[in-house]
Amino acid sequence: MDNHTRPVKIAALGMEQRTYSTLQLFFHGHCEDNYVLVEENSADISIIDMDGFQAYRMLEEHKKHYPNQPSILISLSHDKAHDAEYIRKPIMLDALSLALRRAKERLQQPVTKAPDFEAPVAEITPQSQMTDSKPEADPPLLLSNIVHNPQKTVRPIKSGSNHFNQFRYSTNFLTEDTDLELVDTKLAAQFNPDDPEQVAKFQYQSKQTLQGYFQQAYFTALQEQQNVILKGVWRPITILYKSKQLRVEKNFRHLYALSGMLFDKSEVSITILDNNVDAEPGLHETVLPAEPFLWKLAMRTSRGRVPMDTNFTTPVKLIRWPNFTRTIVTPHALRIAALWAKQPTSLMDTANYLAVPLQHVFMFYTAAVSLNFVASTVTETDHSTIVLPQVKRHRYRKIFQNLLERLRNN
């Protein structure tokens, strides 16, 4: 996007780690390293989050020390009181690109006086936006984007390579998630599946997310028995169908920062690769197991919601247990899995029967359905076979409770 001889240095001020990581990934991938994040004192341009506790004070300080440095302010509200570019949250990639381009143009102007520029952000049409905005119509499947043109980009694995062992116990990131507790389970306490407004609130457009595109690429690889490469604003992700692994950039954690964004299908491509050979990671790449990666991605994207068109009252059955020792155990996941293995049960009935927050059921369902571990047992219109949970209380329940307590405490 830019032909600068050196990258433009950007300071990201007042941002939480996830926003910072998203920017980092955006500059690295989408902007092809034409921008780079640096400290405030060496920056050309600053991006300031105005929704922080002391944001205005920070802005004043910044203006005082760096009066000629172009700034881009991001905020939930559209405040034009300051002499700067404004981008309203959710941040749209096009809006950010445009604001950066304008700030860069200002950099190249001679500094004679303080600029008095206001960005017409309202006119910017987004291609990608945060999922918190109203979802658009369900897009068609991306199969038209799948290129059946095998590319020989997969490097042959070295004889005797044991990269499987190398990453196996170094991927704790895929089995831990400190954000689990951030889901506000009270939000769905009064959820009514017959109320379209509430249903819309707890569903999301999974097909347009990184999760959706990755899912499509992964299952294309498995179905076609071919290695597949997924490209977008992120660094390419290579899916190795045989080992069910990914070749991905070492700093793959940034990908999870994209979980809340929607991408137009024109921004994404899925290409089938030549797979006569296996693959090993490049210098800046690592290899990850695909299932825990997708499981966590779906869980993060879900944030206690379910994919669009999920039926809340149709019984769900467990097709296979997730490999819980190597994936994140979402709250109450073992109980939900055991119930659905024993007795197909709807999402609503599951929450009632197990007396667990509905959003924990949604979270598990979303992660499990992304990997086809669960399925509905009847079609939406056929409710004749629906049965309520009839799982009996085990005569040793008290003992089992004690044992669970022991296992948890030790």
* Closer residue to another protein in complex, CB, 68/402: 402
Residues 336-355 that bind another protein (CB under 8 A): 336-339, 341-343, 353-355
Residue in 114, 126, 100 with CA at minimum distance from that of residue 44: 100
Output the smallest distance, CB 338 to another protein, in A: 4
Per CB under 8 A, does 386 bind another protein? Answer: no
Contact partners, residue 371, CB within 8 Å, separation at least 6 = 291, 294, 295, 298, 322
Output the smallest distance, CB 397 to another protein, in A: 6
Measured distance CA(10)–CA(46) in Å, rounded: 5
Binding another protein (rule: CB under 8 A), the pick from 1, 76, 189, 399 is 399
103, two tokens: 């700030």
Output the smallest distance, CB 381 to another protein, in A: 26
Measured distance CA(374)–CA(344) in Å, rounded: 10
* Closer residue to another protein in complex, CB, 136/400: 400
Residues 240-259 that bind another protein (CB under 8 A): 243-244
The SS3 of residue 290 is: helix
Buried b (16+ CB within 10 A) or exposed e, 197-229: ebbeebbbbbbbbbbbbbbbbbbbbbeeebbbb
Among the candidate windows 68-76, 140-148, 187-195, 394-402, which touches another protein by CB under 8 A?
394-402
Binding another protein (rule: CB under 8 A), the pick from 121, 147, 329, 386 is 329
Q: How far apart are the first and last CA of the chain?
A: 55
Residues 307-326 that bind another protein (CB under 8 A): 318-321, 323-326
Binding another protein (rule: CB under 8 A), the pick from 9, 82, 102, 335 is 335
How many residues touch another protein under the rule CB under 8 A: the total is: 47
Identity (one letter) of the amino acid at 334? Answer: L
What's 11's DSSP letter? E
Interface with another protein (CB under 8 A)? 164-165, 168-169, 243-244, 318-321, 323-326, 329-339, 341-343, 353-355, 391, 393-394, 396-397, 399-408, 410
